[in-house]
A = this chain, B = another copy of it.
Amino acid sequence: MQNSQLMQQIQFIVEIDRLKQVLRQTLLMDGSRRENSAEHSWHLAMMAIVLADYAPAGVDMLRTIKMMLVHDVVEIDAGDTFCYDVQGNGDKTARELQAADRLFGLLPITQAAELRHLWDEFEAQETPSSRFATALDRLQPLLHNQHNKGGTWQLHGITGDRVLQRMQPVEMGAPQLWPFVTQVIEDCIAAGYLNPAPTKPVGVE
């Protein structure tokens, strides 16, 4: 029995190697290539450790780190959906639910439930840990875009108002970091990495 459990666990470990080949839109800080979802997850887990002092009351650090490690595994089947892609986000939930069933289902049943619960908690955004996790998940690409001089924003024509809106979960999940986020956005606009909100054309109400 233990042996068959181990074989299921090894199969899962082998399968998730594929997350290293799921590319996000975000470029590395030096702009040299796109980031993959496995290294992104590592970076977020490191951020949870380093920024633990700014976690609000009620955040469970082990749970947050596990959530950061697990939260993108579904992308192995569902792919990464660019956050500003309205169409792609339309069926994102259905694709990811199916992926969660298959991928976590590779594990022994109690462990499958444990990891699935972590992912469900992250998706539901109802606990301090999951909100803090999402705050970090938003902050990280902001830092990337700041350091690679507006990479994704420039490529896709994303303006400052949309970035500010996208960063709202930081205000919710890690309020102590919010002044830093607004400062980075201002700095990026001032540096020309990010265009400010479009203004209404003359004559349009």
Structural contact, A43 and B16, CB atoms closer than 8 A: yes
The listed residue (B29, B42, B107) touching A42 by CB distance below 8 A is: B42
Please name all residues of chain B whose beta carbon is closer than 8 Å to the beta carbon of A143 when the two chains form the complex. Answer: 10, 13-14
A24-45 residues at the B interface, CB under 8 angstroms? 28-30, 32, 35-36, 38-39, 41-43, 45
Interface string of A1-22 (1 = CB under 8 A from B): 0000110011011101111110
Chain A residues in the interface with B (C-beta under 8 A): 5-6, 9-10, 12-14, 16-21, 28-30, 32, 35-36, 38-39, 41-43, 45-47, 49-51, 53-54, 61-62, 65-66, 69-70, 107, 111, 115, 140, 143-144, 147, 177, 180
Interchain residue pairs A-B with the least CB separation, the first 9: A42-B42, A38-B39, A17-B29, A39-B39, A20-B39, A62-B62, A38-B42, A41-B42, A9-B50
